[in-house]
């Protein structure tokens, strides 16, 4: 057999892709991405796109930040690998741990590193089980999460995720978890229900769920401050305060999954600041290194740390950790990436550019397909609907969004469609002119999408 040598052919022949329809990939082939520059990426043919989703919600500093390349190269030359098991450490892991403790809310005082957000949430589950065994309450092991939430895809973190395609045919959930209503008023509030009343109803549902299961069996509640991959869903006002109060009342730990929102995305360093959340555990990844290296971090309170530390002493060790935990190259890149975010005030830029993004998108409020425009800081979504006045979704759901996603490439734009919601999450370095250009490309795609929806009889 002769070896095929174009990237697309090699890939098609040998590579099973994540989050991809394998038969469609075989039929049309992959889009081969070749290089990046600021907020732009180019494919092998030289077509240039605005990366409206910053890769996977993650490339804060843009696609050609030389300082991160240099930080990685320097660390590779000095000590390319070392672990942090068995009382060893190295400069980058120790310095990044210190930096994260400084940056995150004051009550979070220790960090555990993993390679990915999924591993981080898996680790959170295990640490909480370990903790409750340590505290002599081995029955307190269940989790509460939300339908529409995203926490990863491993057996345990995928169980917390509340999206049907992450469960179907994977035999998930596989850990004890209850999913409660998605905090998204546009689709889930009742007619005439105020935001406050909707938030109260959701908090009451969480309380009822805890009582139904028995508070002595419920360990933790996990949520993204603002749901990302499930549709960029901004919670109703007061939601987090009410949820937090319920968690407190029943001694249920509160986990803020800030894998997307951490490091400035919502216009503050952490979305816990934006929404007034005081989590017991905060999970960080993605923008921690701008995804130049795989890395995630779990921040925890001193109380959690102390109980885990005591128990590890009783058992002789904390029997958990990955070969790549605290990887020197990843942590060195993380340190430099955070230095850039701070020096260039990318958090402030996200707040300012977020306002521009919202006002540019607002120009489409009267468009026949546009149901809701939502977002905070530099993360936003435009909900496309079949009928605006009745908030009726398309039937079938997702066909219009999938068309939009594909067609956007022809206008030089990469975004994510979540069913029929069009999500934006550009690099935090984006300028005002670039926001306007990104939205102009969105507008052109929207016109094509309206023509498509009409031709298909979907509106």
Residues that bind ligand PMP (CB under 6 A): 56, 116-118, 121, 150-152, 224, 228-229, 257, 259-260, 285
What's the token pair of residue 391? 């908030």
Q: Minimum CB separation from ligand PMP for residue 453, in Å?
A: 28
- Of the pair 286, 393, the CB lying nearest ligand PMP is at 286
For residue 130, give both structure tokens. 């370990």
Q: Nearest approach, Cβ of 154 to ligand PMP (angstroms)? A: 8
CB of 352 to ligand PMP, least distance (A): 24
CB-nearer residue toward ligand PMP: 260 or 446? 260
| CA–CA separation, 44 and 352 (whole Å) | 34
- Considering only CA atoms, which of 361, 387, 386 is closest in space to residue 374? 361
Q: Which CB sits closer to ligand PMP, 145 or 246?
A: 145
Closest distance of CB 379 from ligand PMP, Å: 11
Q: How far is the CB of 152 from ligand PMP (least distance, A)?
A: 4
> Left if phi > 0, otherwise alpha if psi is -120 to 50, otherwise beta: which for 408?
alpha
**What does the radius of gyration of the chain's CA atoms come to, in whole angstroms?**
22
Residue number, 152 or 231, with CB nearest to ligand PMP: 152
C-beta separation of 226 from 234 below 8 A: yes
Position of minimal CB gap to ligand PMP: 117
Q: CB under 8 Å, gap of 24 or more: what pairs does 212-216 form? A: 213/142, 213/178, 215/250, 215/251, 215/252, 216/137, 216/139, 216/140
Give me the least distance between CB of 243 and ligand PMP, in Å please.
16
CA-to-CA separations, 173 to 25, 154, 159, 176, in angstroms, rounded: 28, 10, 4, 8
Map tokens 């005002």 to a residue.
432
239: tokens are 């939601």
Compute the least distance from the CB of residue 262 to ligand PMP, in Å: 9
Contact between 219 and 140 under an 8 Å Cβ cutoff? The reply is: yes
Of the pair 54, 346, the CB lying nearest ligand PMP is at: 54
Q: Residue 152: which region, alpha, beta or left (left: phi > 0; alpha: psi -120 to 50)?
A: left
Query: Residue 117 or residue 279: which is nearer to ligand PMP going by CB?
Result: 117
CB of 224 to ligand PMP, least distance (A): 5
Three-state DSSP at 356 gives helix
Residue closer to ligand PMP by CB (options 240, 403) is 240
Q: Which is nearer to ligand PMP, 255 or 356 (CB)?
A: 255
| Contacts of 319 by beta carbon, 8 Å cutoff, 6+ apart | none
């Amino acid at each position: 057999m002769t070896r095929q040598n174009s990237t697309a052919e090699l890939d098609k022949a040998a590579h099973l892709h994540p989050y991809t329809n394998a038969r469609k990939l075989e039929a049309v082939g992959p889009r081969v991405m070749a290089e990046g520059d600021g907020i732009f990426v180019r494919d092998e043919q030289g077509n240039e796109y605005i990366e409206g989703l910053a890769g996977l919600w993650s490339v804060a500093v843009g696609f050609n930040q030389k300082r991160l390349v240099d930080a990685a190269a320097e660390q590779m030359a000095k000590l390319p690998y070392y672990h942090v098991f068995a009382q060893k450490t190295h400069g980058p892991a120790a310095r990044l741990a210190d930096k994260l403790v400084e940056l995150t809310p004051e009550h979070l005082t220790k960090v555990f590193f993993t390679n990915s957000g999924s591993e981080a949430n898996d680790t959170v589950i295990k640490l909480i089980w370990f903790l409750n065994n340590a505290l002599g309450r081995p029955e307190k092991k269940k989790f509460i999460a939300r339908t529409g939430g995203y926490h990863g895809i491993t057996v345990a973190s995928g169980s917390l995720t509340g999206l049907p395609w992450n469960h179907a045919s994977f035999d998930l959930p596989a850990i004890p978890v209850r999913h409660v209503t998605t905090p998204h008023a546009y689709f889930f509030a009742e007619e005439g229900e105020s935001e406050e009343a909707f938030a109260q109803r959701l908090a009451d549902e969480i309380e009822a769920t805890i009582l139904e299961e028995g508070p002595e069996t419920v360990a933790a509640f996990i949520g993204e401050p603002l749901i990302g991959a499930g549709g960029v869903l901004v919670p109703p006002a007061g939601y987090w305060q009410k949820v937090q109060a319920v968690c407190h009342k029943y001694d249920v730990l509160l986990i803020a999954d800030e894998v997307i929102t951490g490091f400035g995305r919502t216009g503050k360093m952490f979305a816990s600041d934006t929404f007034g959340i005081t989590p017991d555990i905060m999970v960080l990844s993605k923008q921690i290194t701008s995804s130049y290296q795989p890395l995630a971090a779990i921040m925890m309170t001193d109380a959690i740390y102390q109980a885990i530390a005591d128990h590890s002493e009783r058992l002789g060790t904390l029997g958990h950790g990955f070969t790549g935990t605290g990887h020197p190259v990843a942590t060195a890149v993380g340190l430099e990436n955070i230095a850039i975010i701070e020096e260039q005030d990318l958090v402030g830029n996200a707040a300012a550019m977020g306002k521009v993004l919202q006002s540019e998108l607002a120009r489409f409020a009267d468009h026949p397909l546009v149901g809701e425009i939502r977002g905070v800081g530099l993360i936003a979504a435009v909900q496309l609907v079949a009928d605006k006045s009745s908030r009726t979704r398309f039937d079938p759901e997702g066909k219009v969004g999938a068309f939009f996603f594909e067609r956007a490439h022809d206008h030089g734009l990469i975004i994510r469609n979540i069913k029929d919601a069009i999500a934006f999450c550009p690099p935090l370095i984006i300028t005002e002119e670039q926001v306007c250009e990104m939205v102009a490309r969105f507008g052109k795609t929207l016109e094509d999408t309206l023509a498509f929806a009409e031709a298909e009889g979907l509106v």
